[in-house]
Every structure is written in structure tokens, then in C-alpha cells.
Amino acid sequence: MRRKAGLILLALAVFFAALSPLLRWYAFPRLAKIPPNQYQEMVLEARDATLLDYGTMTARKVDKVTIVQTLKGNVEASERIERTAGRDVVVWDGLSYIEGPDGEMVSKVPERYIFDAHTQEPVHATGEMVDGDPVRREGIEFKWPFLTEKRAYQYFDAQARVTAPIHYKGTQDFRGVEVYYFEQTIPWTQVEFPKTLPVEGITPESVAETGTTRWYTTVRKFWVEPLTGAPVYGEEIHKEELRGGTLLGGRDKVTAFSGHVKMREDYIKDTVDLVESNRTVVLLMTSYLPWGFLFLAGLLLSLSLYLEARGRRPGDPAPDTASEPEPVTA
């Protein structure tokens, strides 16, 4: 009986020892993915910013500029692309809506981002765009890969429509969460005017006819939780200028926007709470369960060897059953 139990324990030990690396290196890369129906909203603010008044074409100081960013998973589009791509795909329909201190729209820029649900690498398909213009992204945007590494990544800039390195700058503690800090600088670059402008009658085409161009530079900062690859906080030191042309009335340039854009406090708290809960799930599959299964396999193996050793131990001496000879009677 001991021998049979030992063999069962040995089989279980082998099973859990094999399951440990399979869960970490085979199951996790296939199970960890972004859901196609995810919805996110983020509000950012630039306090004491400079903003262009399109009515007078002069820059003025304002107490606040608000940027509302939304990302909505398009399930129908992702399923359609998956049929030809042969892999799990996520389609995010995004919108950056910018409003001035009076609540009036400054601009709005729609965006469609198509990427691999597991690796976050871009997937090129019909519909990939920024502000209605077709683009071909290279590198990540919005989210880093699961198990982010301490290295530079290629990051797509939607304003300039270019990809540039975003560099790892160190590991920090952000409100109790260990994060990797990344930073990207986009130098002054000529960019397109938003197709939706705040003044009726002014369009990108009409501005282009005046010879005036739009230029942009930014320093982009992200604090990324490395297990989930999700940014818990972000900032931009963002500047825009209009240069040349008759629209400026002889001036060389005028500031269109200048400000230090930061996430609003209430959204920081919600983001940190969400990332911490997702982090626990990733830890379960990459650390807790694999190491737990390995420990359990060692324990079962030790118990199996113990039972085997007990089964082979010599038993007590057999009792002497020989009976004494009966006396012979006459």
C-alpha cells in the first residue's frame, strides 16, 4: 500500500514540476492579452498655460486647458481584422478633445490604433489613422508590453506622425507601486493642422493658403508599471507655434499652445487602483503559481521518497510458531 501511494505522489510531483515552466513560458504569453472591448477615459490639465485666440490671432495666458482622452475598444472591427491577420487583434478608437478655460472646444483629434492583443505591436490594416489621415505606425502607443523591460522602446507620436525612441530613465516608487520611468523628446517638427478648429470658417486648407505653418515640440514622460505594461501616470511639456505666412500679420511666429500637461488627481488614483489589481493577476501567472507548483513538486517528491524508504525497511522478526512436542504416553 505504501509503495502504491509513493508512486502516486511521485507522478503528481512530476506533473507539478512540468506545469510550473509551462504556465510561465507557454500559458502566460497566450493568456495575457488586452480585452477587445476595453474602455478608458483620462482627463489631463495644463495649468497657467498659453493658448492662441484664433479670433485675434494672439496668444494669451489662461488658468487652465483641459484634454479629455478616450479609448474605446471596437469589437466588430477587431473581429473583422482577426479573420485575415490570424492573431488576436485589438482596435482602439481614440479621441483627444481639447477645451479652453471657458469650456469651449479648442480642437478634437480622432485616432484609430490597431495592435496585437498579446504583444502590443502595431497591426497594419485598413482604418489605421490619425485625424482622418491614414498612417502606418511603428512602435507602441498608449501601452507598453506585458513584462516591460529596462530599455528604450519605439513610441509613435500622433501629432508629428513619427516614431522615435522613448528611453528608460530609472526605477521609481509611485504611490507605493514600483514603476519604470520613460522619457521621449520630439524636437520642433512641422505638423498638420487639426481638421476641426474652434473658429467657424477657418479650415486647415484656408490656413495653408496663407502660407502659415504649425510647429510642435514636446517632452513626453510616462511612469509605467512593468508587469502589466500600463502607465500609472503621464506628463507632457507641450509647445505649439504658428510660423510665417500672412495669417500672422507680419509676425514670424506666435505661440498656439504652451503648457505642462498633467493627469488630473482623481484619475491618477483610479488608474493606480486598476493597475494594482491587474498586477496581482499577472504576478499569479508569472510568479506565485509557477513557484508554488515547483515547491509543491519538491514536497510531493520528498514524501514519495519517504514512503518508499518506509516500505523497504526490514519488519519485525517473525514469531516462533513451532509447538513443543507432546509427551508420549504408554
Regarding whether 171 and 62 lie in a shared domain, the answer is yes
Is residue 268 included in any domain, yes or no?
no
Q: Classify the C-alpha dihedral 122-126-132-136 as positive or negative.
A: positive
253 burial class (0-12, 13-18, 19+ CB within 10 angstroms)? middle
Mean pLDDT of the chain: 90
How remote is the C-alpha of 53 from its chain's centroid?
36
Tell me what percent of the residues of the chain surpass a pLDDT of 70: 93
208/304 same-domain check: no
**Structural domain count, the chain:** 2
pLDDT digits (tens, 9 = 90+) for 144-175: 999 999 999 999 999 999 999 999 999 999 99
pLDDT (tens digit per residue) in 49-90: 999 988 788 999 999 999 999 999 999 999 999 999 889 999
The answer to whether residue 11 scores a pLDDT higher than 70 is yes
63 lies in the same domain as 14: no
326: helix, strand or coil: coil
Residue 320 lies in a domain: no
**pLDDT band at 250; cut points 50, 70, 90:** confident
> Is residue 167 assigned to a domain?
yes
Average pLDDT over residues 235-260: 93
Do residues 175 and 259 share a domain?
A: yes
221 and 165 in one domain?
A: yes
pLDDT of res. 24:
87
Q: How far apart are CA 113 and CA 117, in angstroms?
A: 12
Q: Check whether residue 45 and residue 179 sit in a common domain.
A: yes
Q: What is the 3-state secondary structure (H, E, C) of 105-172?
A: EEEEEEEEEEEECCCCCECCCCCCEECCEECCCCCECCCCCCCCCCCCEEEEECCCCEEEEEEEEEEE
- Residue 197 binned pLDDT confidence (cut-offs 50, 70, 90): confident
Same domain, 191 and 173: yes
DSSP state of 51: E
**Is 94 inside a domain boundary?**
yes
66: in domain = yes
Return the SS3 of 191.
Answer: strand
The single-letter code of the amino acid at 24 is: R
Residues 292 and 196 in one domain: no
In a domain? residue 322: no
Owning domain of residue 301: 2-22+285-311
Confidence at residue 330, expressed as pLDDT on a 0 to 100 scale: 42
pLDDT, one tens digit per residue, over 254-304 is 999 999 999 999 999 999 999 998 999 999 999 999 999 999 999 988 888
294 and 189 in a single domain? The answer is no
For residue 158, is it within any domain? yes
Judgement on whether residues 158 and 252 belong to the same structural domain of the protein: yes
Which residues, 6 or more positions from 192, have their beta carbon under 8 angstroms from its beta carbon?
131, 133, 161, 204, 214
Residue 17 lies in a domain: yes
pLDDT of residue 247: 86
What is d(CA 53, CA 58) in angstroms, rounded to the nearest whole number? 5
Q: Is the dihedral angle over the CA atoms 275, 280, 282, 286 positive or is it negative?
A: positive
Asked whether residue 16 falls in the same domain as residue 142, the answer is no
Amino acid, res. 1? M
Q: Are residues 210 and 174 in the same domain?
A: yes
User: Rounded to an integer, what distance in angstroms lies between the CA atom of residue 170 and that of residue 147?
Assistant: 16
